[in-house]
């Protein structure tokens, strides 16, 4: 009958001041359906830069019919011809014609929209970044390495054989390498996007995981329990980053957020969650060790508990200092953006 099947449910969802999860999911589906429909109708596929436009505006195939420009008139015919030739090529397996048409469109884009087209190196970097999906894999790698190191470290407390000591050191090195990979991933997002990788929910969470791992390795470089525990909590943080409510897509920065004061403010204040997360997991591990302390292992257990307590206090102190400084930096950013 031509009626939108979700309309009745959406009316109720949009009327609610605070929609429930079911209604939120329907709103999200509605947005996805509209995006798909717009893409199929050629409304969102902005592939034609307007020659000489001072705002570097790009338009879709449908919008191209409203622009009176000889170059647009020529190039807009390429897209439907390309789609038709592509459909025919899937049968013949000969893609020479669609490839040549696509190359012509690419040359047009580089001629009239070169100023905002990403460099080839950035495009290649983003393709590799999406292909390997580093942060999604790091979740399981941190988890396995952290749990294995924690298990062998507990065994080491009661049995200091050379093989166990070497195994613990190997896992320590592995976690260090995973942290290096984590750092490379953040640098890659920074390079691809052109702004600091803590500008949205997803980036903030993976940055908190990085900060947690950084302080865990820095404060616990001689404490195997600290490193193992930190790897575990970093994996949990990365797991949260890949829940449905976060979007891992690399996007443009909103102009109001394009401020070096904001970049520093967020880096410091969000980074402070790292030491706090480290303190939390170390406190939990210390309490677990207390539960398993008896007369036979009291001396060794107390030594490890004291070690964790000292690192815990250091983490809380550093976290509090960073949080305080971050708040003052936030005030400076607010003054720069909206102050008089």
The answer to whether 282 and 305 are in contact (CB under 8 A) is: no
Average pLDDT over residues 120-137: 93
Nearest partner of 21 among 176, 259, 243, judged by Cα: 243
Counting runs of H as helices and runs of E as strands, what totals does the chain give?
14, 2
State the Cα angle at 29 between 208 and 132, rounded to 5°. 45
pLDDT on residue 199: 87
**Residue 340 pLDDT exceeds 60:** no
Q: pTM for the whole thing? A: 0.82
pLDDT classification of 245: cutoffs 50, 70, 90: confident
Residues 56, 258, 271, CA angle at the centre, nearest 5°? 145
């Amino acid at each position: 009958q031509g009626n939108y099947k979700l309309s009745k449910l959406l009316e109720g969802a949009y009327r609610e001041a605070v929609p429930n999860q079911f209604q939120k999911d329907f709103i999200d589906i509605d947005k996805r359906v509209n995006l798909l429909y717009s893409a199929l109708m050629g409304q969102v596929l902005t592939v034609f830069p307007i020659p000489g436009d001072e705002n570097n505006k790009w338009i879709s195939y449908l919008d191209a019919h409203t622009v009176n420009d000889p170059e647009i008139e020529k190039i807009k015919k390429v897209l439907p011809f390309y789609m038709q030739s592509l459909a025919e090529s899937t049968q013949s397996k000969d893609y020479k014609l669609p490839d040549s048409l696509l190359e012509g469109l690419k040359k047009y884009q580089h001629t009239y929209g070169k100023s905002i087209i990403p460099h080839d190196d950035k495009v290649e970097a983003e393709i590799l970044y999406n292909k390997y999906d580093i942060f999604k894999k790091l979740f399981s790698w941190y988890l396995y390495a952290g749990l294995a190191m924690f298990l062998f470290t507990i065994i080491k407390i009661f049995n200091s054989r050379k093989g166990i000591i070497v195994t613990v050191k190997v896992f320590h090195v592995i976690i260090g390498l995973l942290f290096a990979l984590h750092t490379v991933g953040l640098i890659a997002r920074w390079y691809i996007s052109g702004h600091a990788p803590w500008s949205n929910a997803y980036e903030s969470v993976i940055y908190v995981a990085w900060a947690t791992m950084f302080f865990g390795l820095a404060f616990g470089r001689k404490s195997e329990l600290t490193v193992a525990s930190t790897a575990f909590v970093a994996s949990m943080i990365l797991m949260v980053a890949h829940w449905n409510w976060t979007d891992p897509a690399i996007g443009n920065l909103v102009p109001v957020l394009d401020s070096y004061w904001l970049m520093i403010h967020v880096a410091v204040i969000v980074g402070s969650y790292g030491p706090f997360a480290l303190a939390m997991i170390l406190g939990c591990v210390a309490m677990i060790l207390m539960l398993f302390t008896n007369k036979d292992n009291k001396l060794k257990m107390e030594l490890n508990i004291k070690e964790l307590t000292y690192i815990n206090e250091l983490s809380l102190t550093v976290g509090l200092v960073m949080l305080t400084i971050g708040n003052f930096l936030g005030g400076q950013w607010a003054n720069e953006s909206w102050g008089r």
